[in-house]
Structure 1
């Protein structure tokens, strides 16, 4: 797989030529507030440059481990209301996600993931961008009162 880092961030619809002569188009994934990554790859399972389609379930998560090739373990935390006790509790779920080669992540990064078709036995989510690449978006769990 080839990854090319560009000097300026490409826009949706731009066509970039890779060093091996292959042309890659930056696709519109249907999420208007997430910017495409600054690098371009020829990974077929990349929502930006490949043919992987996403479903419109988006989560803001924290990267926990990046030990697997093209995959990572992330933690999703949210606040759940318990009406019986009139209180909130924090809940947490660990998930495995696909990381395209054009997006570099490390443990501790805040990323946006989107649901996709099952890619393996345990992976059905893909990273579509870092939190810094998002404009005017606030996750649902950030608007709830904190505990």
Structure 2
């Protein structure tokens, strides 16, 4: 609850001298604000970044049916949550822009391999 969300606080960083406190919402100065979303990790190829995919249904009035859509959101991974893999369910929160494409940060690991 230290960041204003009802998420468990992860353990302290292993190496405090080398830890990036500037981009950590738990032990640093990164404020979280705005929306929180949950989704599935679909890519872990980049360093300190994951791609979170969220599927949702959109109603199409012309055909009177629902169509599936998806959003792919790049999110920063703080060092204390570094053990994410493809298929993990995570919760992400909106924050200030961290880089050109990243404006979200991972705040909780909900489950693995859905």
> The TM-score by the shorter chain falls in which range?
0.7 to 0.9
In the alignment, is residue 36 of structure 1 matched against residue 9 of structure 2?
yes
Q: What's the RMSD between the two structures over aligned residues?
A: 1.5
> Is this contact kept in 2: 1:62–1:108, CA < 8 A?
yes
TM-score by length of 2: 0.82
Q: Could you tell me which of 95, 102, 114 is aligned with 1:123?
A: 102
Structure 1 residues not aligned, in runs of 5+: 1-11, 13-27, 133-147
- The structure, 1 or 2, with the larger RCO (C-alpha pairs under 8 Å, 6+ apart) is 2
Aligned length: 104
Residue equivalent to 2:27:
49
Q: Say which SS state the counterpart of residue 120 (structure 1) adopts.
A: coil
Structure 2 residues not aligned, in runs of 5+: 14-18
Residue equivalent to 2:78:
100
Q: Distance in 1 between matches of 2:12 and 2:85?
A: 19
TM-score by length of 1: 0.65
